[in-house]
Each structure stands twice: as structure tokens, then as C-alpha cells.
């Protein structure tokens, strides 16, 4: 019948050769361009002493990663808490609460994060009382505060939708069963619905955490000294654009892959618990 065999070595190597040729042309083009501009790639620049922080340039990149991780962790916790509150409010029997929660979700989901970061930093932060501003600035750094606020609020609007979908995926009988056992609305929600719903929402939640970590790179626009900021700084001090952007990319890849690995572990645990 059909003689087409996808694992046919000829087809494989044809596709492989095509891809290698494509990549090769690009690499050759870029290296020609580099040569024409008298730029020499120097990976040793990572080991050279840094002009930005103490230690070598590699230390600078790692320091940046450390702040990225801290910003991401704090924002994830805040976003999760906010998101659960808003997500539950989206299903409230009180019309006004529901409308307010909907407005919150729609507004923060439909405006770019960068606009929100600038809005919190240049708009709202300046309106705070001087004392609060100063204490926040000396303790955490003003840009970091603004970025954490923007990231948690932006992500919480996505998490709220995830939580809502998760709650709605629980059959109505569960609510009714809780009711008929004499539990109050909050007890039903906290003891019966949320534990089940959280299991359903773990994969999409993990996606949001991943997005949040990547989005934290926008903090560089306010001068928060995280991975992307230090990478770009390194580029402008050393002139090694390729090396710097590779270091940034590698840093984010490592973080993304670690988060994915952790999430897979968590997911497997919960999936097992269901089967028992």
C-alpha cells in the first residue's frame, strides 16, 4: 500500500540535511557580518573581573539571577493569594462582588504588563506618602516594589480565571453534598471544592508561574538589578553583545526548565493521589 515510511533513513537524512543547511547559512551570514565589523567573540569575558559588581562577570549574572528568583518567588505567592480571592469572588452570589472581580480581571488581563509596571512605578508609587516611599525604597528598592506589585496583580488576573475554571469543573453535586452535610458556604469551599479544584488547576497554574518568571525580565526597564538588566549592562561595558545575550538566555532557560521539572514532580504526586 503506502510505501512512505517516516522512519526511512533517506527521508530522515534529507530533512536533517535541509535543517543543517538552513542553520549553517544563518551562522555563516552572521559570522561574515561579525568579521566585516571586526568583532571577535570572546567567551572569556565571563571570567574577567566585572565593572558592575564585585567578582567576575559570571558573578554579576548569577547575582542578577538571584534577584530574579526572589522577585519571582514573592510575586508567585502574592499572585496566588490574590488570584484565589478574585477567582472565588468571580463566582460569588453577590452580584456587586462578582462585577468588581470581573472588572479587575478584565482590566489587568487586557493591558500590557510593561504599561502596568510603569503605571505603578511612575504613577502610583509617587502618590504614596513620602514616609512610605522612603521606607519601601531603602528596604527593597523602589523598582523592585513596583515590579512585584505589577507582576502579582497582572498574574493574579490570569490565576483568577484558572481558579474559576477549576471550581466550575467540579460537579455541582459536590456543592450540594457539602450543603446537605450542614457545612456553611465557606466550609464547603475550603474543605471540599478548593482541594479538588487545586488539583485540576495545577498544570495551568504552573504555566502562569513560568510566565511570571519570564515576565520579571521587564523589571530591567526600571533598573531593578535582575538577570536581564545585568546582562545588558555587561553588554554595554564589555561590548560583547553575543556573549551577554547568550548568558541571559541560558539563565532563563535554566530557571524555566527547573520550574518545569518541579511542576512535573508536583503534578505526578497529585496524579498518583487521585488514582488511589
Partner 1 sequence: MNIGALSFVIPGVGQFAVQTLFLGIQYLLAAITVWLVALPILLSGPLEGRIIALALLVSLHVGAGITAIAWKQRADGLEKNLAKAPRTYRLWSNVIAGLLVLLLVDLFARWLLSLPSWSAVASNLTFILIGKLRAPSNAEDLWRLWGFVPLMIGLVVGWNLFRAKKGLLGLVLGFVGVIIGTVILWPIINNQVLGGLAMSVMLALWGIVLALPLGMLVGIGRISEIPVVRISSTIWIELFRSIPFVAVIFWFYICLPYVLGQGTQLYAVVLALAIFTSSYIGEIVRAGLQSLPKGQTEASRSLGLSGSQAMIQVVLPQAIQNMIPPLVGQFISLFKDTSLTSIVSILELFGAGRSVANRLGNATFEIYLTIAVIYFIVNYSLSRLAASLEGAKAKER
Residue 73: count other Cβ atoms within 10 Å of its Cβ.
13
Report if residue 268 touches partner 1, rule: CB under 8 A.
no
Q: Which is nearer to partner 1, 94 or 268 (CB)?
A: 94
Query: Which 3 state secondary structure label does DSSP give 89?
Result: helix
Q: Which of 241, 263, 266, 267 binds partner 1 (CB under 8 A)?
A: 241
Using CB under 8 A, which of the segments 46-54, 76-84, 105-113, 140-148 binds partner 1?
A: 105-113
User: How many residues in the shown chain lie near partner 1 by CB under 8 A?
Assistant: 62
Report if residue 7 touches partner 1, rule: CB under 8 A.
yes
Chain CA centroid to CA 76, Å: 9
Cα distance between residue 93 and residue 85, in whole Å = 14
C-alpha cell at 121: 512605578
Report if residue 248 touches partner 1, rule: CB under 8 A.
yes
Residue partners of 52: CB distance under 8 A and separation at least 6 = 60, 230, 233, 234, 237
Report if residue 236 touches partner 1, rule: CB under 8 A.
no
CB of 218 to partner 1, least distance (A): 7
Q: Which is nearer to partner 1, 100 or 196 (CB)?
A: 100
Report if residue 11 touches partner 1, rule: CB under 8 A.
yes
Report if residue 94 touches partner 1, rule: CB under 8 A.
yes
Q: Which of residues 22-41 bind partner 1 (CB under 8 A)?
A: 26, 29-30, 32-34, 36-37
C-alpha cell at 156: 493574579
Q: Which is nearer to partner 1, 139 or 169 (CB)?
A: 169
Report if residue 159 touches partner 1, rule: CB under 8 A.
no
Cα distance between residue 76 and residue 59, in whole Å = 25
Report if residue 249 touches partner 1, rule: CB under 8 A.
yes
Cα–Cα separations (whole angstroms), residue 18 to 8, 13, 23, 205, 218: 16, 8, 9, 38, 37
Report if residue 21 touches partner 1, rule: CB under 8 A.
no
Place of cell 478574585: 86
Report if residue 114 touches partner 1, rule: CB under 8 A.
yes
DSSP 222-266: GT--SHHHHHHHHHHHH--HHHHHHHHHHHHHHHHHHHHHHHHHH
Q: Which is nearer to partner 1, 4 or 173 (CB)?
A: 4
Cα–Cα separations (whole angstroms), residue 225 to 94, 145, 238, 266: 43, 13, 17, 31
Cα–Cα separations (whole angstroms), residue 81 to 70, 144, 215: 17, 19, 19
CB of 95 to partner 1, least distance (A): 5
Residues forming contacts to partner 1 in the complex (CB under 8 A) are: 2, 4, 6-7, 11-12, 15-16, 19, 26, 29-30, 32-34, 36-37, 93-97, 99-100, 106-107, 109-116, 118-119, 122-124, 126-127, 184, 186, 210, 214-215, 217-218, 220-221, 228, 232, 241-242, 245, 248-249, 252-253, 256-257, 260
Amino acid at each position: 500500500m503506502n510505501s512512505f515510511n517516516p522512519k526511512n533513513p533517506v527521508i530522515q537524512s534529507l530533512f536533517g540535511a535541509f535543517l543543517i543547511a538552513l542553520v549553517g547559512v544563518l551562522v555563516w551570514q552572521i559570522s561574515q557580518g561579525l568579521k566585516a565589523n571586526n568583532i571577535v567573540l570572546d567567551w572569556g569575558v565571563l571570567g574577567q573581573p566585572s565593572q558592575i559588581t564585585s567578582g567576575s562577570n559570571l558573578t554579576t549574572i548569577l547575582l542578577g539571577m538571584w534577584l530574579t528568583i526572589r522577585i519571582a518567588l514573592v510575586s508567585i505567592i502574592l499572585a496566588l493569594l490574590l488570584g484565589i480571592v478574585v477567582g472565588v469572588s468571580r463566582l460569588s452570589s453577590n452580584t456587586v462582588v462578582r462585577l468588581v472581580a470581573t472588572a479587575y480581571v478584565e482590566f489587568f488581563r487586557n493591558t500590557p504588563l510593561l504599561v502596568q509596571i510603569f503605571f505603578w512605578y511612575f504613577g502610583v508609587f509617587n502618590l504614596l506618602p513620602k514616609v512610605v516611599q522612603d521606607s519601601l525604597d531603602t528596604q527593597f528598592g523602589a523598582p523592585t516594589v513596583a515590579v512585584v506589585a505589577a507582576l502579582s496583580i497582572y498574574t493574579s488576573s490570569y490565576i483568577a480565571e484558572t481558579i474559576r475554571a477549576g471550581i466550575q469543573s467540579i460537579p455541582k453535586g459536590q456543592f450540594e453534598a457539602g450543603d446537605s452535610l450542614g457545612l456553611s458556604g465557606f466550609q464547603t469551599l475550603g474543605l471540599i471544592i478548593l482541594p479538588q479544584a487545586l488539583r485540576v488547576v495545577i498544570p495551568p497554574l504552573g504555566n502562569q508561574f513560568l510566565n511570571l518568571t519570564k515576565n520579571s525580565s521587564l523589571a530591567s526597564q526600571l533598573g531593578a538589578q535582575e538577570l536581564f538588566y545585568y546582562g545588558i549592562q555587561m553588554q554595554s561595558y564589555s561590548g560583547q553583545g553575543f556573549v551577554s545575550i547568550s548568558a541571559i538566555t541560558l539563565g532563563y532557560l535554566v530557571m524555566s526548565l527547573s520550574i518545569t521539572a518541579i511542576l512535573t514532580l508536583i503534578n505526578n504526586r497529585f496524579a498518583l493521589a487521585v488514582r488511589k
